[in-house]
């Protein structure tokens, strides 16, 4: 699957409903609701994140697609998906911190 630049821009500028998120991610809506309940996927700022008016952005779609790939490739259940997604988030945070620290260091000339 090839993603065009216009699709990326569209995702950054639009919000998705739960059924749209389920369709675009390939995960059943029930699995998405469980991931929402535990905080593995978060909705945009709304009154009720698990309610029918919940809206999702590109970060939620990225997490949902990652969850679908993990579920398909490794046959993970929802609890394992929660752990895997939280570990992947932590790795991304640590990589960002490492990049920031490396950027602050003076460059060594070899």
Tokens 């895997």 -> residue: 84
Positions in the chain whose pLDDT score sits under 50:
47
Strand blocks (E) in the chain = none
- CATH number for the region 5-104 comes to 1.10.1660.10
* pLDDT attached to residue 93: 97
28 CB-near residues (< 8 Å, 6+ apart): 22
* Global model pTM greater than 0.85: no
């Amino acid at each position: 699957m090839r993603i065009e630049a216009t699709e990326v821009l569209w995702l950054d500028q639009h919000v998705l409903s739960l059924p749209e998120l389920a369709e675009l991610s390939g995960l059943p809506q029930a699995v998405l609701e469980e991931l929402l309940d535990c905080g593995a996927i978060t909705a945009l700022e709304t009154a009720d994140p698990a309610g029918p008016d919940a809206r999702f952005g590109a970060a939620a779609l990225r997490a949902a697609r990652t969850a679908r790939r993990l579920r398909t490739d490794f046959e993970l259940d929802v609890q394992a998906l929660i752990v895997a997604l939280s570990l992947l988030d932590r790795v991304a945070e640590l990589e960002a911190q490492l990049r920031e620290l490396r950027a602050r260091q003076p460059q060594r000339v070899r």
